Chains A and B, each alone.
Chain A
Amino acid sequence: MIVKMGIRECALKSNAFRALYTVYTHRDDTARRWKSEGRKVIGELGCDVPDELIMAGGMLPVRVYADPEKPLVETDKYLEYAFDPVVRAQFEKIVDGTYAELFDALAISNSTDVVIRIFLYLREMHRVEPHKAIPPVEFIDWLFTRNRLHQVRNEHTIALFRKAVEGWAGREITDEEIRAAAKVCNDDRQALREMEKLRSGSEVRISGSEALVIIGSAFFMEREEHARLVREVTRDASEWPVLTGPRVFVTGSDQESTELYDLIEQTGAVVVGEDHNWGDRFFDRDFPMEYTPVRGIVDTYMLREFSSKKAFVSQRVEAIGRWVSRTNAEAVVFYTNRYEEAASWDYPKQKESLEGRGIRTACFAKMQYPVSANEGLSEQIAAFTSAVREVS
């Protein structure tokens, strides 16, 4: 097992952590096993595809992820360069046949405008180039602005998606099956929240990189098993050494790997939380079991903490305040990839608000993908960590 720098020896001694790490680093293995057993796998692009429905249909939900090493042969042909680089790399695997082998279908949620465009392009490719090996696509047209009309509309949208999932499953999905899946998802979220206490509580025993592995492995495996392993890791981690560096919160682009966190934590800081979709936001809100299935799903995905894409500046300012309080962060790193612009409009007001509370901030905008493509980044991060350490 080749291990990243941000993962400590103590973590690797944990059987449960090693199991999660294997899933995190071999992301397609579980899906391949499911396929070989004749079971169905559904890809998810965008962070708001309700896992509960897919699991209720007896299928495995698997998150689409980018391969930074893969040349973008197909992507360069179809996508404008204004698409953010992670989505460009994800698109390559969707259209070059990689995911056609692995997925029975692809569910896309409109979690960001870029992903909406990907849906439109894939739909058009199905129409004009039907020979391309692209999985069938279904779109979930969430409305994220919070009012009654949009909640009602979302219930309709999710009812439509439920029909699509039933089509993939080849059978009707009962309310009981959805509730059972929701219970599993809630249990996993609860397990992650227990883990979070060791990451952002008064004593930090789980590093940011380790947390990303623990959380992100959920996207590629059975959720019951994930919850079991997370609880086991949490038990093991209570014995891990305490981390004492400056407490940093990360906001901005999704971090599909531990690369950025490794860099930050190498400098002696510790990443105690994040608001992106490969971290804490994943387990932010439970499915309310007392609601009907469709309403429960709408509540869970529509009303969890704001994403950087689908929220107003004022909402994002308040949200980052809540995150910083929840994680007791001393500093915030804003990190956005080139062409991933939306969060850039939030930054000045968020910075102003945070600095008013004495929270230090550093902004890394227009970043190249992957993280390692940015020359001098580790030195800049080290300088920031030193500055935070001096103040604290």
Chain B
Amino acid sequence: MAEERKAPATKSGVVKKLQATAAASAYQKQWFAGLLERVKNGEDFGYLNADVPMEILRAMDIPFVVNQWWAAICGAKRMTRKYFGLLRDAGYRDDLCSYCATAFAESLDPDDHNYDEAGKPMGPWGGLPDPTLAITRLTCDCQSKIFELFAMNHGASFYAMENTVPRKVPLNWFEMAPDHWEDLYDKDRLDTAVEELKELIRFLEMKTGKMFDINQLERVMNLINEQESWYKKIRDLIAECHPVPVTVVDTINAVMQAQWQRGTEWAVGHAKGLYEEIKALADKGEAAVPNEKYRLMWIGRGLWHDFAFYQRFEQKYGAVFMWSMYLAMGADAYIRNHVEDDPLRALAARYIGMEDFLHMPPWNNQWFLQQARQNDIDGVVYMIPENCMQAVEGSYFIIKTLEDAGIPVLSFHADPVDPRKWSAETMTGLVEEFIENRVMPVREAKEKEEK
């Protein structure tokens, strides 16, 4: 353990311990280099919002980049300040939709594909190549507008998929999703989603000249089920471990990066490797934080511009951020068994729920509660995005559900990619105060009760 604790800190001060995390990052760079090559050779290239059913493009072997992943890369490369200045200069507001608008802002950067005097690329990873396809879903009013502007700047074809609102909302969606997905949704909603997929397929076939093969989709869906099953095993394993062998600092990056590669052999292999690595640590009884006392849950998007934040409470309090949605969504939201019956319908049953699981009461609050219980959570730190209507998700109901169950919640407003309003000192103070005044007393009371 001591050896792993000495793992070198990154530029941002984050200490990552897993090989799988580093492997995912390394693969992403290698994969991106391959993507550049394919684009250079004239292949079509898609730029997708995270809630677009990317499985279709995977099955058709159309390379793509996911908007939120790319925004995270831009955030981690500290490009946001520059990009939002470019937005302002072009007459756009610089305080809106930061997560979704980062790539559009980047498209305004004349230096995106240039090199500085030292020969280093000025854009993140050499800049985003021009996509030929820009696809989004209408899960908020701004989404289509930003994507269309992005498409205009890149000369890409813009395509938008609609979003419908569920009438039927069984509270235990996370239990129903893998095997009973047909009953999880209103039938007519699922029917429409299948038709939406067929229209997307036709659009892609016409644009790229490639044929969609249902057998390839079935293969992709099965690979994804396999990958996500590893995440389920990892999530369940971490939940059982006291102390936990890894924290969100490792799992968020390892899972998020591989999630955008879902439907590939590499992603399955990576997920399996991640499980085996964590299992080995767990078997040895190793602890991510040797003095683990308090288990914290992080609700919200990753804090990409200050990942070290998650580790600031380990030494002083033994407080470990051990849960984030990134791993748990993989475990609970993606698996759709019985693919062979109708791969398109199984895919529809995955993609139409994704936003709702996370952002719609009661699906989100019931899941957070179930997860908090499964993971023996002592306190929840909940980041509410500053300027994103898509992520407005019934914070009152989330907080009430958890607090009513005796789980203290600290909520605050911040932005996942824009560091301009972030004060690490203030936020650290807030969490410290929360741990001292809310988490510790609740834990002590729980321990007394257990004795």
- Flag whether A365 is at the interface (Cβ < 8 A): yes
Residues of A within 8 A of B149 (CB): 313, 345, 349
- Flag whether B211 is at the interface (Cβ < 8 A): no
A128 CB, nearest partner CB in chain B, Å:
7
Residues of A within 8 A of B167 (CB): 139
Complex formed: what's the CA distance from A145 to B148 in Å?
13
Of B9-17, B254-262, B391-399, which stretch is located at the interface? B391-399
For this complex, into which size category does the number of interface residues on chain B fall?
Answer: 35 or more
Q: What are the interface flags for A120-144 relative to B under an 8 Å C-beta threshold, 1 for contact and 0 otherwise? A: 1101100110000000000101010
Given contacts A112-B141, A128-B397, A141-B164, contact A117 B148 (CB under 8 A): no
Q: What are the interface flags for A374-392 relative to B under an 8 Å C-beta threshold, 1 for contact and 0 otherwise? A: 0000000000000000000
Residues of A within 8 A of B388 (CB): 82
Given contacts A120-B361, A149-B196, A342-B141, contact A313 B148 (CB under 8 A): yes
Residues of A within 8 A of B395 (CB): 80
A91 CB, nearest partner CB in chain B, Å:
12
A347 CB, nearest partner CB in chain B, Å:
7
Complex formed: what's the CA distance from A228 to B247 in Å?
70
Given contacts A80-B395, A113-B390, A141-B165, contact A341 B96 (CB under 8 A): yes
| CB–CB B145/A77 < 8 A | no
Residues of A within 8 A of B387 (CB): 82, 341
Residues of B within 8 A of A365 (CB): 93
Which of B142, B162, B199, B394 meets A124, CB within 8 Å?
B394
| CB–CB A145/B162 < 8 A | yes
Residue of B nearest to A129 (CB): B400
Residues of A within 8 A of B237 (CB): none
Complex formed: what's the CA distance from A345 to B141 in Å?
10
Residues of B within 8 A of A348 (CB): 90-92
Given contacts A113-B141, A156-B188, contact A345 B146 (CB under 8 A): yes
Q: What are the interface flags for B92-133 relative to A under an 8 Å C-beta threshold, 1 for contact and 0 otherwise? A: 110011000000000000000000000000000000000000
Q: Is the interface of A mostly helix, strand, loop or mixed?
A: helix
Residues of A within 8 A of B97 (CB): 341, 345
| CB–CB A145/B160 < 8 A | yes
Complex formed: what's the CA distance from A110 to B166 in Å?
13
Which of A78, A113, A313 meets B140, CB within 8 Å?
A113
Residues of B within 8 A of A147 (CB): 199
- Flag whether A310 is at the interface (Cβ < 8 A): yes
Residues of A within 8 A of B162 (CB): 143, 145, 150, 153
- Flag whether B138 is at the interface (Cβ < 8 A): yes
- Flag whether A34 is at the interface (Cβ < 8 A): no
Q: What are the interface flags for B144-171 relative to A under an 8 Å C-beta threshold, 1 for contact and 0 otherwise? A: 1110110010000010101011010100
| CB–CB A119/B138 < 8 A | no
B368 CB, nearest partner CB in chain A, Å:
14
Complex formed: what's the CA distance from A54 to B387 in Å?
36
- Flag whether B192 is at the interface (Cβ < 8 A): yes
Residue of A nearest to B139 (CB): A113
A371 CB, nearest partner CB in chain B, Å:
20
Given contacts A127-B362, A149-B199, contact A347 B188 (CB under 8 A): no
Residue of A nearest to B93 (CB): A344
| CB–CB B389/A143 < 8 A | no
| CB–CB A344/B92 < 8 A | yes
Given contacts A113-B140, A120-B360, contact A342 B145 (CB under 8 A): yes
Residues of A within 8 A of B152 (CB): 313-314
Residues of B within 8 A of A12 (CB): none
Complex formed: what's the CA distance from A196 to B397 in Å?
46
- Flag whether A351 is at the interface (Cβ < 8 A): yes
| CB–CB B389/A341 < 8 A | yes
Complex formed: what's the CA distance from A143 to B199 in Å?
15
| CB–CB B144/A312 < 8 A | yes
**Interchain pairs with CB closer than 8 A, number:** 108
| CB–CB B397/A124 < 8 A | yes
Complex formed: what's the CA distance from A121 to B158 in Å?
32
Q: Specify which of B92, B97, B141 lies most central, judged by the most chain A CB atoms within 10 Å of its CB.
A: B141
Complex formed: what's the CA distance from A77 to B394 in Å?
11
Given contacts A82-B387, A312-B145, contact A145 B93 (CB under 8 A): no
B4 CB, nearest partner CB in chain A, Å:
39
Q: Specify which of A121, A341, A348 lies most central, judged by the most chain B CB atoms within 10 Å of its CB.
A: A341
- Flag whether A114 is at the interface (Cβ < 8 A): yes
Residues of A within 8 A of B160 (CB): 145, 312
| CB–CB B146/A80 < 8 A | no
B178 CB, nearest partner CB in chain A, Å:
25
Residues of B within 8 A of A156 (CB): 188
Q: Specify which of B199, B389, B390 lies most central, judged by the most chain A CB atoms within 10 Å of its CB.
A: B389
- Flag whether A235 is at the interface (Cβ < 8 A): no
For chain B, residues 344 to 364, give those with C-beta under 8 angstroms from any C-beta of chain A.
360-362
- Flag whether A305 is at the interface (Cβ < 8 A): no
Complex formed: what's the CA distance from A139 to B168 in Å?
12
Residues of B within 8 A of A349 (CB): 149
Complex formed: what's the CA distance from A156 to B190 in Å?
13
Given contacts A113-B389, A116-B165, A344-B96, contact A309 B196 (CB under 8 A): no
| CB–CB B92/A345 < 8 A | yes
Residues of A within 8 A of B145 (CB): 312-313, 342, 345-346
Given contacts A156-B188, A309-B141, contact A347 B91 (CB under 8 A): yes
- Flag whether B224 is at the interface (Cβ < 8 A): no
- Flag whether B265 is at the interface (Cβ < 8 A): no
- Flag whether B195 is at the interface (Cβ < 8 A): yes
Residues of B within 8 A of A79 (CB): 396
Residues of B within 8 A of A314 (CB): 148, 152
Complex formed: what's the CA distance from A243 to B367 in Å?
60
Q: What are the interface flags for A305-334 relative to B under an 8 Å C-beta threshold, 1 for contact and 0 otherwise? A: 000011011100000000000000000000
- Flag whether B414 is at the interface (Cβ < 8 A): no
Q: Specify which of B152, B397, B400 lies most central, judged by the most chain A CB atoms within 10 Å of its CB.
A: B397
Which of A121, A139, A309, A346 meets B361, CB within 8 Å?
A121
A309 CB, nearest partner CB in chain B, Å:
5
| CB–CB A114/B92 < 8 A | no
Residues of A within 8 A of B164 (CB): 141, 143, 153
| CB–CB B165/A119 < 8 A | yes
In the assembled complex, 11 residue pairs joining A and B whose CB atoms fall closer than 8 Å, in A order, are A113-B389, A121-B396, A127-B362, A128-B362, A143-B164, A153-B162, A313-B152, A341-B93, A344-B93, A345-B146, A351-B91
- Nearest 9 CB-CB pairs, A to B? A348-B91, A342-B141, A345-B145, A124-B361, A113-B141, A309-B141, A143-B162, A312-B148, A113-B140
Known: A113-B389, A114-B141, A345-B92. 10 other contacts (CB 8 A): A82-B386, A82-B387, A82-B388, A114-B389, A120-B361, A124-B361, A124-B362, A149-B195, A342-B145, A348-B90
B residues with CB within 8 A of A? 90-93, 96-97, 138, 140-142, 144-146, 148-149, 152, 158, 160, 162, 164-165, 167, 169, 188, 192, 195-196, 199, 360-362, 384-390, 392, 394-397, 400
